[in-house]
Structure 1
Amino acid sequence: MPDITPHGLDGLAFGGDYNPEQWPESVWQEDVRLMREAGVNLVSVGIFSWAMLEPEPGRYEFDWLDRVLDLLHEHDIRVDLGTPTVAPPAWFYRAHPEALPVSREGVRYAFGSRGAICHSSPAYREAAATITELLARRYAGHPALAMWHVHNEYGVPVSACYCENCAAHFRRWLATAHGSVEAVNAAWGTAFWGQRYASFEEIEPPRATPTVCNPAQLLDYARFADATMRENFVRERDLLHRFAPGTPVTTNFMTALSQCDSVDYWAWGREVDLVTNDHYLITDGRRTHVNLAMAADLTRSVAGGAPWLLLEHSTSGVNWQPRNPAKAPGQMARNSLAHVARGSEGALFFQWRQSRRGAEKFHSAMLPHAGTESRVWREVVGLGAALDSLATVRGTRTAADAAMVWDWQSWWAQRLEWRPSQDHDARERADTFYETLYDRHLTVDFAHPEADLSAYPLVVVPALYLATEATGENLRRYVENGGTLVVSYFSGIVDEHDAVHPGAHPGPLRDVLGLTIEEFSPLGEGERVRLTGPEGAELTGDLWSEFVVPKGAETVWTYTDGLAAERPAVTRHRLGEGTAWYISTRLDAGALDTVIAAASEDARLAPRAELPRDVEVVRRGGEHGAYLFAINHTATDAKVPLPAHGTELLTGERAAGRLGVPAGAVRVVRLDS
């Protein structure tokens, strides 16, 4: 059984992607000297180096990589060694053009970017296995090796291919998943529009069609594409386990970015030894630190609460958004330590030395174009020292207050065509629910719909459109045993095949919510509805409304206007020892907080009004002690209450009573008890 932590590290990891092949060898000595100055102890190497390692078919040049790893080892820097299978060489595609992916429209992509791979290609699979085995045989015993890094950001930028190899592979996958073509017909509802298949050979990938394609077929193809990428990861992982037993194997996830919405990370989290994540701020005017916290909480949850690692983020601006602002002074450290607070065992960046050429030359780095006489470099050195002072945090776990149910496959299904409203966005609901909990200073675990929820006093379920019977039973059991549940509109509508559950909506959630829904009534663009609640309190919803019929639930807020006027809008259902709330319209974060506040009273979660907005307080604990992280994202000094005396690790000062946290700063207290 492999270890799940990088080998050879005594404290938290610090470093980033190191691409020495971009630079003359004369630069390497300066690199390692500056790495030591900054406190770097782990770098990722070789991720995009296939063409350097195998410049011609069957001719290998490992000497340069030998020298890099030896040099890093001499300077006590550990290596996350990549298999370069995200970027096959030009000669490979010249010999195997069929390994380039094909779009739904039938366009075959060209070589010249990255990640342009048909994961069903036999030639690619064999070539990837060969280079992986050679690396494993050669470097399994190298003293610098801390862990293996397979591929890079699966699903970016292409996850699904629609070529003939994929068509044949898809048929085999369907035969395994469904057992017979009759079962496929039943699952896909092919009696509609005369789409029935007589044999697997008649089934093609869901290529471009003149109007809407079968939604169940599209959903299965998304599952197939995800499973195919995962098959290739598992093959490489198993080779590395075979030749380097005990060394952890990972691949970098991207839980926060829409570029990777094609990956079911619940499934992937079970396959890696160590969960790692790449996170980049989306600077679109929103509160970026909230998205950061959400990504960190989601990554920790994919890891089952176990240690995970932030494998990439940026020291300052990125290069792929329409506008790429620099990070403010102190923001890099604040972002990095916020990930650590929420469970990461360190902070790594893309990349070590900023590139002079190529598509990412304007992406910030630890060693920027401006060199060591720069603000970024000074902050990098300061962050290395800060992480070193937090070494004893390693191995502790983040404590959560509440849970959010999230399912990637339900998300995929909600984005299919011809839904009741094109404006509905499941990810937007998840973001808004999360922001509401964040502003109540609650640390959130994410959970699969069928996971054990008994540890959480409060569970929220934003837009779980696809919900199985097992999910309904799980949520009912949670509430009956004393839990408090909050469910948003458009939940419990279809089963795993995108078939509407029999009977009235919300299918398997009817019993736990104590209601049925006669009809959806989506709102027009800009249209709003008013809700009236306890003591005349008013809320405003938009985008969606429903005709709700209580079947045991009590009405808490009522629609005042719109087609659903005088009908229930927000309900509460007492069931067993717990309560289940239902919200049938879209509420913004402020209005949603009013409902969450009422549900929190049911859950006996006391409000944390003493904590200022945008000041995070997160706790980690375990055998190594208990730690309180206080992260001030505001421009004003703040104070937070401490539950016990302790030592502030970044300054070395004793702390008691109320902890002062300067504007934009982080404080970490190791509590005495």
Structure 2
Amino acid sequence: MRREFRWPRLLTPNGGGIAYGGDYNPDQWPESVWNEDIELMRRAHVNTVALAIFSWSRIQPREDEWDFDWLDRIIAKLGEAGIAVDLASATASAPMWLYERHPEVLPRDRFGHVVNPGSRQSWSPTSPVFKEYALAMCRRLAERYGDNPTVTAWHIGNEYGWNNRHDYSDSAQAAFRDWCERRYGSVEALNDAWGTAFWSQHVNSFSEVLIPRHMGGDSMVNPAQQLDFERFGNDMLLDFYKAERDAIEAICPDKPFTTNFMVSTDQCVMDYAQWSDEVDFVSNDHYFHEGESHLDELACSDALMGGLAQGKPWYVMEHSTSGVQWKPLNARKRHGELVRDALAHVAFGADAINFFQWRQSRSGAEAFHSAMVPHAGADSALFREVCELGESLQALSDAGIQGSEMERSRAAILFHADSEWATRSETLPTMKLNHWHDVRDWYRAFLDAGLRADVTPLRDDWSGYDIIVLPTVLVLSDADARRIAEFAASGGTVVVGYATGLVDESFRVGLGGYPGAGGGLLRDVLGVRTEEFNIVGDEAQGEASAVGLSNGACSRLWQSVATVADGEADDVAVLATYEGEGAEDWELGGMPALTRHAYGAGVGYYVGCDLRREDIARFVEAEFGDASIRADSRLMHTRRIGVDENGNRVAFDFYLNRGPKKPVNVPEFTGVPLVEHRCAPVAGVAHGRVLQRNGVLITRQRLD
């Protein structure tokens, strides 16, 4: 069951518009600064802030002492200025007095070491003591602010799992046993799922089930046990979120709830498809990846957010105005990137653009994390760009973009949290697999081919797509294998990657050849059968570290030793074979590497090896492109469809310069320009534009 979609209202006359602002931490500043903050917020068109995220110790300085007066005052000031508040439950980090009084709430790492307080989320999600204190805070906040008209949404917790995703405490051990019993019902079923006959791991009761703590040396964890531990950690934090949400909702049921996910292609730590069922609107914290992939990575992460939101608008809860302070390399944003990144989020379905944070801290761990008001103050290029962005978002709000939804692509790349966790196992043919990074590479390859794909959770309905791509979807249940086969049989196109469908949901290998998913059903879709894998790399000195393909592509990690299945010789088209010195050295010469096979009314493609991005792009363009409508791959285009005040369908078209340095032309467009950022007219062409570096053009047109 998925909660009903509810979007937070603004304090605008109609309650609508794009939400714009960021985390606001007035308790870090003297009250003499607050009036200046609000005046600058008005100048920047800020209309919402997230408040009290890390304010527990200010609200409850001692166990028996509560101080809401300061929070009352700042909420009143914000409300008078027309700025809505997304009020946090304030439980992300507990005050020091709680840790001193109850050290048992602290989590432990896999070595048994206590995770000490002083950072964020130094608490065990299975600790009943911590939950008692946290829910008391939630109820106090709900009782005081539930009817406050300035508070229009609840921000539960903050980045769940940032520091306590894996807890090995005694309370976690007890909870894991209970979780396993609920999941399997009997110890016999658990033994079968975990394959405990290997290494004498049979358990006689759930009281013998252990968390996969450190086992000494380089010992390998039972992969089925580890995968269940990942699921357990996800579920414990989700249960904690729901307990906080429910405590507030029992008192204040009429305002929407969210918590901020952490989706970028550097991290996707939770099963956010599962979490998305439990929020009223989906929100995300996204921080850019430095380098040439900056915009593409943002687009890929946003595409998954669109999938998690199931087409509804979603909320950027945090991103950065410029550099951060927590990476090995903290690159700043160039001129125009602040506005470009924010508008790119809107292009991919976001109806809220928020930063961490409003005013840059003077002290603490994030003092050098950029903010909307930098250390240099309002008289700075960065703040002027913050104001420029506010004006652009106001223009889009006035044009009615809020509530419009993304136009669906032809293709969906499937993402699966179980497969992301499973590819981290140290028991696979190679430890260099990464499901989420493969999703990103395929996504970028579609862009390189002048196309665009959506990113959709595996569990969702993809029947409306023409093409689905499964890159390193290592874990496939029998039910999911049947869904894939049915999709192809009914006319869909399925692209299966080299490390897809190798194990089921209990990490059991399918027999009879690879991919074994569905008892061989996936092999039927593809018409090929792999007997083993050829793993190459620079580590094997003196051996060929790359294998070429007959179409000019190159594989540098994994080659499936595949053959056309018996009886399928006439139906399988071999698009490329292994070829060249590396192929001959590894005895792969002439074996199929890329194949196409008719299955029912559809088709199954097998990509039997890892490929470079440019090789994937050539494959995508050759098999799915249309030369008559080929777009410039340097131009990123998305469309959102909405309805105007008269009930007419309208389209908002977004054009972004994907090239890192060179200008790109927008061909003649229809519609009225709404936003032109780093954009110039084309001489003699009324509806043509040139997008400079970081350029964005947004237009609106009526469709009916």
TM-score by length of 1: 0.95
1:608 offset after TM fit, Å?
Answer: 5.0
Instruction: Work out whether 1:623 is the aligned partner of 2:631.
Output: no
Q: 1:366 aligns with which of 357, 363, 372?
A: 372
Structure 1 pair 309–153 and aligned structure 2 pair: CA distance change class (3 A): same
Greater shift in the superposed pair: 199-208 or 226-235: 199-208
Counterpart in 1 of 2:541? Answer: none
Instruction: Work out whether 1:600 is the aligned partner of 2:600.
Output: no
1:371 offset after TM fit, Å?
Answer: 0.5
Instruction: Work out whether 1:70 is the aligned partner of 2:70.
Output: no
Q: Tell me if structure 1 keeps the 8 A contact 2:307–2:457.
A: no
1:606 offset after TM fit, Å?
Answer: 5.5
Structure 1 pair 633–539 and aligned structure 2 pair: CA distance change class (3 A): closer
* Deviations, residues 181-200 of structure 1 (Å, cap 9, x unaligned): 11111110111111111111
SS at match of 1:451: coil
Counterpart in 2 of 1:454? Answer: 463
Q: Tell me if structure 2 keeps the 8 A contact 1:389–1:650.
A: no
Counterpart in 1 of 2:189? Answer: 183
- Map 1:254-403; keep pairs closer than 5 Å: 254-256=262-264, 258=266, 260-283=267-290, 285-391=291-397, 392-401=400-409, 402-403=411-412
Instruction: Work out whether 1:646 is the aligned partner of 2:672.
Output: yes
Structure 1 pair 411–612 and aligned structure 2 pair: CA distance change class (3 A): closer
* Runs ≥4 residues deviating over 4 A: 605-608, 649-657
Q: Tell me if structure 2 keeps the 8 A contact 1:53–1:60.
A: yes
Q: 1:573 aligns with which of 573, 597, 600?
A: 597
Counterpart in 2 of 1:233? Answer: 241
Letter in 2 for 1:529: V
Residues in 2 aligned to 1:39 and 1:58: alpha-carbon distance in whole angstroms: 40
SS at match of 2:558: coil
- Map 1:154-233; keep pairs closer than 5 Å: 154-210=160-216, 211-233=219-241
1:523 offset after TM fit, Å?
Answer: 1.3
Q: Tell me if structure 2 keeps the 8 A contact 1:521–1:563.
A: no
SS at match of 2:413: strand
Instruction: Work out whether 1:563 is the aligned partner of 2:587.
Output: yes
Residues in 1 aligned to 2:321 and 2:203: alpha-carbon distance in whole angstroms: 53
Counterpart in 1 of 2:537? Answer: 524
Q: Tell me if structure 1 keeps the 8 A contact 2:258–2:279.
A: yes
- Map 1:516-555; keep pairs closer than 5 Å: 516-525=529-538, 527-532=545-550, 537-551=551-565, 552=568, 553-555=572-574
Q: Tell me if structure 2 keeps the 8 A contact 1:275–1:309.
A: yes
Residues in 1 aligned to 2:268 and 2:298: alpha-carbon distance in whole angstroms: 16
Counterpart in 1 of 2:59? Answer: 53
1:660 offset after TM fit, Å?
Answer: 3.8
Greater shift in the superposed pair: 654-663 or 1-10: 654-663
Counterpart in 2 of 1:667? Answer: 697
SS at match of 1:390: helix
TM-score by length of 2: 0.91
SS at match of 1:617: strand
Counterpart in 2 of 1:427? Answer: 436
Instruction: Work out whether 1:514 is the aligned partner of 2:527.
Output: yes
Letter in 2 for 1:520: F
- Map 1:463-474; keep pairs closer than 5 Å: 463-474=472-483
Residues in 2 aligned to 1:122 and 1:670: alpha-carbon distance in whole angstroms: 53
1:555 offset after TM fit, Å?
Answer: 1.2
Structure 1, unaligned runs of 5 or more: none
Q: Tell me if structure 2 keeps the 8 A contact 1:116–1:157.
A: yes
1:641 offset after TM fit, Å?
Answer: 3.1
Q: Tell me if structure 2 keeps the 8 A contact 1:441–1:617.
A: no
Greater shift in the superposed pair: 514-523 or 2-11: 2-11
Letter in 2 for 1:640: V
SS at match of 1:87: coil
Q: 1:483 aligns with which of 464, 481, 492?
A: 492
* Deviations, residues 167-191 of structure 1 (Å, cap 9, x unaligned): 1111111111110111111110111
Structure 1 pair 159–608 and aligned structure 2 pair: CA distance change class (3 A): farther
Residues in 1 aligned to 2:5 and 2:79: alpha-carbon distance in whole angstroms: 20
Q: Tell me if structure 2 keeps the 8 A contact 1:14–1:347.
A: yes
Letter in 2 for 1:398: M
How many residue pairs are counted as aligned between the two chains?
663
Q: Tell me if structure 1 keeps the 8 A contact 2:85–2:153.
A: yes
Q: Tell me if structure 1 keeps the 8 A contact 2:448–2:633.
A: no
SS at match of 1:538: coil
* Deviations, residues 369-427 of structure 1 (Å, cap 9, x unaligned): 00111000100000000000001111111113221011011111121112101223223
SS at match of 2:501: coil
Residues in 1 aligned to 2:449 and 2:337: alpha-carbon distance in whole angstroms: 23
Greater shift in the superposed pair: 382-391 or 320-329: 320-329
Greater shift in the superposed pair: 587-596 or 337-346: 587-596
Structure 2, unaligned runs of 5 or more: 539-543, 645-649
Q: Tell me if structure 1 keeps the 8 A contact 2:265–2:436.
A: no
1:473 offset after TM fit, Å?
Answer: 1.1
Letter in 2 for 1:273: D
Q: Tell me if structure 2 keeps the 8 A contact 1:450–1:470.
A: no
Counterpart in 1 of 2:87? Answer: 81
Letter in 2 for 1:476: A
Q: Tell me if structure 1 keeps the 8 A contact 2:450–2:633.
A: no
Q: 2:630 aligns with which of 585, 591, 609?
A: 609
1:442 offset after TM fit, Å?
Answer: 3.0
Residues in 1 aligned to 2:334 and 2:149: alpha-carbon distance in whole angstroms: 38
- Map 1:15-54; keep pairs closer than 5 Å: 15-54=21-60
1:529 offset after TM fit, Å?
Answer: 0.7
Structure 1 pair 607–94 and aligned structure 2 pair: CA distance change class (3 A): farther
Greater shift in the superposed pair: 652-661 or 235-244: 652-661
* Deviations, residues 285-337 of structure 1 (Å, cap 9, x unaligned): 34211110011111111111111011100011111111212110010000000
Instruction: Work out whether 1:148 is the aligned partner of 2:154.
Output: yes
Letter in 2 for 1:212: M
Residues in 2 aligned to 1:148 and 1:116: alpha-carbon distance in whole angstroms: 22
Residues in 2 aligned to 1:263 and 1:28: alpha-carbon distance in whole angstroms: 36
* Deviations, residues 428-452 of structure 1 (Å, cap 9, x unaligned): 3222111101223433322233432
* Deviations, residues 251-272 of structure 1 (Å, cap 9, x unaligned): 00011154x5431111001111
Letter in 2 for 1:371: G
Q: Tell me if structure 2 keeps the 8 A contact 1:41–1:76.
A: yes
Letter in 2 for 1:586: D
Structure 1 pair 607–89 and aligned structure 2 pair: CA distance change class (3 A): farther
1:658 offset after TM fit, Å?
Answer: 3.5
Residues in 1 aligned to 2:328 and 2:117: alpha-carbon distance in whole angstroms: 24
Identity of aligned residues (%): 38
Q: Tell me if structure 2 keeps the 8 A contact 1:317–1:326.
A: yes
Greater shift in the superposed pair: 574-583 or 492-501: 574-583
- Map 1:399-418; keep pairs closer than 5 Å: 399-401=407-409, 402-418=411-427
SS at match of 1:220: helix
Residues in 1 aligned to 2:332 and 2:560: alpha-carbon distance in whole angstroms: 44
Letter in 2 for 1:646: V
Letter in 2 for 1:263: M
* Deviations, residues 509-542 of structure 1 (Å, cap 9, x unaligned): 112111111111111327111111xxxx322111
